[in-house]
Amino acid sequence: MQQATEIDIIAIGGSAGSLPVMGRIIRQLPDTLKVPVVLIVHRLKNVNSELGRLLSGDKIIIEPEDKEPIKKNQIYLAPQNYHLLIEADHTFSLDYSEPVNFSRPSIDESFYSVADAYGARSVGILLSGANNDGAAGLLSIVNAGGIGIAQQPAEAEFSIMPQAAIDLSSNIKIMREAEIISYILKYTVPSK
């Protein structure tokens, strides 16, 4: 499948070691976004979390409700203890089924739903992590014609997660943090 030149969503997944990178990415985003950005981070399930505040800096990050419509000019964070899924009508669905790869939210589950709902108009990015959650989901985005990016394993604090994705397909782009930020800005900064 040929990759689209325009995209409608960016999904970023990460686990151990990904928070500093994710925070720097978010702080580089423009105040007005052309596409929604969805963050999926492994989180402890029964512990009060201020992850959204920690990541946001001066940006507003929303933990979406079930059936909430996805808006272009928004950053979303998967709520703890739920799989964050995206429906065909571009609304969120919160799923409480079993953990996948020991995780809920599971990056794979979110990426699968992004591939199904947005296909070739999606970008998936997989950052540092200590298991292989997200690898198969990132491949599903690529197989749907979207763009799959894995953080350069040598740069990641925990290389297992991005390396697992790279091992699945030569069509997954490998980028350093600065390259990922530049790539995201290409799609999120509104045209003048």
Instruction: Enumerate the active-site residues.
Output: 15, 42, 133
Strand order in the sheet with 75-77: 61-62, 75-77, 37-41, 9-14, 122-126, 147-151, 173-175
pLDDT of residue 1: 38
Mean pLDDT by 10 residues, the chain (192 residues): 69 94 90 92 63 62 94 92 94 89 90 98 96 96 98 97 97 97 87 62
| Residue 187 in tokens | 């799609």
Amino acid at 179: E
Nearest partner of 34 among 73, 5, 76, 75, judged by Cα: 73
pLDDT reported for residue 3: 43
pLDDT at residue 71, rounded to an integer:
95
Cross-strand partners of 103: 100
For domain 9-188, which architecture applies? 3-Layer(aba) Sandwich (3.40)
The 10 Å Cβ neighbour count of residue 170 is 9
* Dist CA 83 CA 184 (whole Å): 24
d(CA 141, CA 190) in angstroms, rounded, equals 24
Question: At what angle are helices 160-168 and 135-143 packed, to 10 degrees?
Answer: 40
